[in-house]
Chain A
């Protein structure tokens, strides 16, 4: 898959999963990598980039599995960005669908 395209899509997935509640790394990466063939490591970098861009914030909370977990929280800016990204994505997919959806075959 094209790298830029994939990264944009993964960002949208992560931001959307954070829209309803704060989640920790494994919760996010396991859910996404269960559905598509990507290296989990890539997702941690996506999370890091979102954090560096202030689209998500992080905090530590205890866990029953040993080390404290880092939770990700969608910032106001991130919420706005998610809405825009989702809109762009939907239009994009719709356009592709119209082209590949049989009209030209």
Chain B
């Protein structure tokens, strides 16, 4: 297993724990990998030495006492639609595990039989899942299931049929919010040409890999959900040990949506040409790219992937990365960036307030059209350079500086990175 796969599995396993615990362990491990690699070890060697994630989780649960209780049922705080949701998930997981076991058994008996059994398992699973969804629909009145699945097939020269990609899709014309969760999928978002929200799922994996992922698309109230996720097949590590297939979620969003959320763990996210009041974009190890969009508030989070925000117009932007870098070129009133070791590069227009923090990454800011700034700049061991027309301060000490008209308020700090602020 390489570092990316290991870190992905670790992140998945840490999901039930509090965010600060997760972040602490992830950053400890990131640091351990960096040091191990610098000492001539291979990623595989380091993974081997770090040991089993299952054991780590068991130890962590013991350490935390209650650990993963959060995932259990809490009837007091659960409303009816959530209860129905859990019920559907429970049934789907159970069916998934039965279907998976049947398929696996059949595989041992030979391929011809396996196809039949797999089809059987598939339709069995769909049948029961649909029944479960009916229960779900009754539980939350407004829920509409919009998923539509089919298998694209291709005829080979000898006349046999070979499954290639699995696809599914859903759409809605009467929503104003959209939530997309991709697990390991790539998410590509563009503007809808006809004000209909659409989600299209494509699984490029092998038949087996397709069996391990599920796509759901449904509407609840005025929110359209498109969820791609790994099924819990109850086969411990049999499928998990396989590499993740390439899954794409292509999303079309109508103009001026109220809220959009795009989240994945190991895929990349590209958002282009949409407008919404609030946007939340989150990734773990893939890169995030947000281009030519308009928002009131934009929040982008990443762990080891980069965040690139280019040509975006938003009142407030928050971008946080751990080891990835953050690049923003935006027209924004209030900007906040945080990185641990990633570099920060900011180009802004019309900015009023910037807060930028990093531990070991450098921070560079270019203020387009600004005639000065009021900066509280600090770096412990990095170099600080502040440039504003003719009044330049280079090699400055940490402190407060007022250059030019000083209308832009800046707070920038890094422990060991360098810091540069410039007007243009």
Contacts and interface: CB of A to CB of B under 8 A. Distances in A.
Contacts of A45: 56, 59-60, 63
11 contacts: A25-B35, A41-B29, A41-B50, A41-B53, A41-B56, A60-B359, A60-B415, A62-B360, A63-B360, A65-B38, A68-B341
Given A39-B55, A42-B59, A26 B24 contact: no
3 closest residue pairs by CB, A with B: A39-B51, A62-B416, A26-B35
B158 interface: no
Contacts of B31: 24-26, 67-70
A68 B34 CA distance: 10
Interface residues of A, number: 28
A44 interface: yes
Given A62-B415, A65-B38, A39 B28 contact: no
Given A24-B31, A39-B50, A62-B416, 18 more contacts: A26-B31, A26-B35, A30-B35, A30-B36, A39-B56, A41-B29, A41-B51, A41-B52, A44-B29, A45-B56, A45-B60, A63-B34, A63-B360, A65-B38, A66-B38, A66-B341, A67-B31, A67-B34
B32 interface: yes
A52 B60 CA distance: 13
Nearest to B380: A62
A44 B25 contact: yes
Given A25-B28, A26-B36, A42-B59, A67 B51 contact: no
B5 interface: no
B357 interface: no
Given A39-B55, A41-B56, A45-B59, A26 B359 contact: no
A61 B29 CA distance: 16
Interface in A48-87: 48-49, 52, 60-70
A39 B360 contact: no
A91 interface: no
B323 interface: yes
B3 to A, nearest CB: 13
Contacts of B74: none
Given A40-B51, A45-B63, A67-B340, A25 B24 contact: no
B381 interface: yes
A29 interface: yes
Interface string B310-335: 00000000000001000000000000
A48 B416 CA distance: 24
Given A26-B31, A60-B415, A40 B50 contact: yes
A47 B63 CA distance: 11
B32 A68 contact: no
Interface in B53-89: 53, 55-56, 59-60, 63
A46 B359 CA distance: 24
A66 to B, nearest CB: 4
Nearest to B342: A67
Interface string B341-364: 100000000000000000110000
